[in-house]
Amino acid sequence: MQFRRFHDAGIEAFRDYLHRLRSEPTLAPPWGMLTDDALSEPLHPPIAAEPEQFENRMAFARWLHDAAEAAKATIPRADPGFWAWLSLALFDQVCPADGNGRRKPGADARHIPDRANWQRRYRHLLANPFDVFMLHRDNPERAAVVLVNPLHKPGELTEQFTARTEIVSCPGTMALASHLYVDPTTKTRRRGASGKSARRFGKLMNQYTRTWDLPEIQPARFAEMLPGEFDRFKEAAQSQEVEAAS
């Protein structure tokens, strides 16, 4: 697959498809738009990659990063036309059809970055995991907490964390969240990881960043500082560490 970017006309044509899809949920994706020179153009320098079925957001981000590395090029992260084009190219994964061939695209911002409010790019189903991956590219596993879900289901916890720069950009915070909330065996989130627990975690991190140098604290040691309400997550993480070491 040769990566391209939509012109403004391509973005609007894709947006029109999303709007029609909401009232006609079995409407087929307009695949021809992807190579229509009137709507899009190849990236320069060129970047290409073989399409894959991605296990999760981490796998997608790594695939995109590796494609750019192989081409000795840079992903145009600030280009809405690129992300909109890639969303259509991977539409079967960001908006899969159910058993009856019906799709639920959700808000436009999940597929087309919001130009009016670029800070809300965390809502985009592809730009967001790639941004997180690049923030932690020295060790992407520390950000597993927001990268283990499927592309089309980032989940409430992902939105809560990635909407807050002070959390998602902090190595110590993300390593702790992944330590607590991700099962390293199944590579999935532990039950109860979102909702009240995640909101409480965010508030605590705001307090702790004023006191400690979070990037320097090891997750297991950091977890010991958390109040009792996090005990079940701490115990689950500790139990699996002991099991892995035995």
Contacts 24+ apart (CB under 8 A), 110-113: 111/14, 111/18, 111/84, 111/87, 112/11, 112/14, 112/15, 112/18, 112/80, 112/83, 112/84, 112/87, 113/80, 113/83, 113/84
Outline where DSSP puts E strands in 23-152: 40-42
What pLDDT band is residue 118 in, cutting at 50, 70 and 90?
low
Q: What is the pLDDT of residue 209?
A: 64
Domain boundary among 91, 120, 149: 120
Residues 208 and 241 in one domain: yes
pLDDT one-digit tens code per residue, 195-209: 777 778 777 777 776
pLDDT one-digit tens code per residue, 176-195: 889 889 998 888 988 877 77
- Who's near 44: CB < 8 A, 6+ residues apart? none
Query: What average pLDDT does this structure show over 4-16?
Result: 98
pLDDT of residue 246 exceeding 70, the answer is no
- In-domain check, residue 100: yes
Residue 36 one-letter amino acid: D
Q: What is the pLDDT of residue 242?
A: 46
Task: Please give the full DSSP string across 202-226, using - where no structure is assigned.
Answer: HHHHHHHTTTS-GGGS-HHHHHTTS
Query: What average pLDDT does this structure show over 117-142?
Result: 90
Residues 53 and 141 in one domain: no
The terminus-to-terminus CA distance of the chain in angstroms comes to 45
Residues 115 and 208 in one domain: no
Residues 140 and 102 in one domain: no
- In-domain check, residue 237: yes
Residues 2 and 79 in one domain: yes
CA-closest candidate to residue 173, choices 147, 137, 212, 138: 212
Instruction: State the chain's mean pLDDT as an integer.
Output: 88
Domain boundary among 67, 87, 120: 120
Most confidently modeled range among 81-95, 101-115, 155-169:
81-95
Residues 146 and 246 in one domain: yes
**Residues 71 and 47 sit within 8 Å (Cβ to Cβ):** yes
Residues 148 and 109 in one domain: no
What is the CA 181 to chain-centroid distance, rounded? 16
What pLDDT band is residue 61 in, cutting at 50, 70 and 90?
very high
What pLDDT band is residue 126 in, cutting at 50, 70 and 90?
very high
Q: Which of 26-30, 49-53, 188-192, 208-212 bottoms out in mean pLDDT, i.e. has the lowest?
A: 208-212
Most confidently modeled range among 55-59, 176-180, 217-221:
55-59
What pLDDT band is residue 241 in, cutting at 50, 70 and 90?
low
Number of domains in the chain: 2
Domain that holds residue 211: 136-246
